[in-house]
Amino acid sequence: MPRKFGEIAFTPEVQAAQLQRGSRQTYERYIANGPANDSITPQIAEFIAHLDGFYLGTVSSNGYPYIQFRGGAPGFLKLINDKTLGFADFSGNVQYITVGNLSGESKAFLFLMDYRHRKRIKIWGTAEYIEDDAVLIEQLRIPDYPAEIERAILFHVEAISENCPQHIPIRYSMTEVEAMMAPLQARISELEQLLKEKNSPSD
């Protein structure tokens, strides 16, 4: 079964570039033999559940790509089913470029990054925005997150590709750093208290 992302990403122009540079034969075999990778697996769902941000790509009517970072509490990109992801679209700078782009062209792209574990996943598909659907918006709501939700955005998966970690820098979020530092800070406080007791005047 051919891998679906090759059918989308490896256009005739890309294939020509691969052929010219000597990688076409390798990728032709790779694409032809393997899983379709056109749905969200349990492993990918677990990866997504820990994300606190991702990049969303859309296409404007003049042909230019538009990339936007979307952030929120871990798990705000939600699994609807193995072919569909969804997230709440919060109030922002009211430019509405993503909404406008999706009004004319549904093709979209998700770039998912986990810098701490040096892992990235690319997802091709189509997207749509949905307004005035209280049930869906409630399904995508993040508990205790105060931002106003303007609409829901659904992403329909067509192909997935997982990349190697080469050249991905290791980065930590503030929450991750605080969690790693907590035991050290507790130990420092403990040692400071022992030192204080040792140096305090005896009765």
- Kindly give the confidence (pLDDT) of every residue in the chain, 203 residues in length, as a single tens digit, with 9 standing for 90 and above: 578 999 999 999 999 999 999 999 999 988 888 889 999 999 999 999 999 999 999 999 999 999 999 988 888 999 999 999 999 998 878 899 999 999 999 999 999 999 888 899 999 999 999 998 999 999 999 888 888 889 999 999 999 998 777 788 888 888 888 988 999 999 999 888 888 888 877 65
Question: Cα separation of 195 and 191, whole Å?
Answer: 6
- Please give the structure tokens belonging to residue 88: 């709440």
Nearest alpha carbon to residue 90 among 154, 156, 153, 136: 153
Residue 117 gets which letter from DSSP?
Answer: T
pTM, rounded to two decimals:
0.84
Nearest alpha carbon to residue 66 among 102, 94, 90, 92: 102
